[in-house]
Amino acid sequence: MAGKKIRIVALLSGSGRTLQNLLNLQASGELQGDIVGVIGSLSGAYGLVRARNAGVPTCVIRKKDHPDVESFSAALTEQIQQWNPDLIVMAGFMCLYRMPPQFAGKVMNIHPALLPSFGGAGCYGHHVHEAVLAHGCKVSGCTVHFADNRYDCGPIIVQLTAPVREDDTPDSLAERVLEQEFKAYPLAINLFAQGRLRIEGRVVRILPK
């Protein structure tokens, strides 16, 4: 596989299914990167267990231990810098992270809908799938984007779609979208590792090999 192997730090708040998918692909050689550290925003996040089981260093930085988002973000930045990553991936991270200027274009997020629809503060997890069904959408999917200092607003890298069925529940739609998330995130990461992503304003150009 062409391209260098990059250093990745993952941020998470929950079960870590997205992280586990990346760890599995790392182990099989299909991910052009190594996860060198994982930060959890909750002490009980099962994603931290998954990381430890894979031998990945972990750290807990809880939002509630900080007086404001600036202090919380500063603590995240300090820990991330200790691991010296090329890329930071949000893998089910439910907190706003105000990143420093040097991280611009180096932080990715994945969202379980086709942005710019069904994004923003409060629109996460099953809330997204409930909204998609309530609006009668015929298609949903996932979006990998570069993160900025707002929820779900950065330039889009990859989008994959999933059909919405007449008998869908939020749970069944979530599983179908997750299948696409498991494809989209490693695709975006590998494109980054290959140096094939160029940000032009709000547009991400995918350069040829």
Write the DSSP symbol of residue 73: H
DSSP notation for 5-25: PEEEEEEESS--HHHHHHHHH
Options 111, 127, 129, 135, the catalytic residue? 111
Cβ neighbour number for residue 59 with a 10 Å cutoff: 17
Which two tokens mark 86?
């090329």
The helix/strand/coil state of 164 is: coil
Known catalytic residue at 66: no
With tokens 């973000």, the residue in question is 73
User: For tokens 């309530």, what's the residue?
Assistant: 134
Catalytic residues, by residue number, are 111
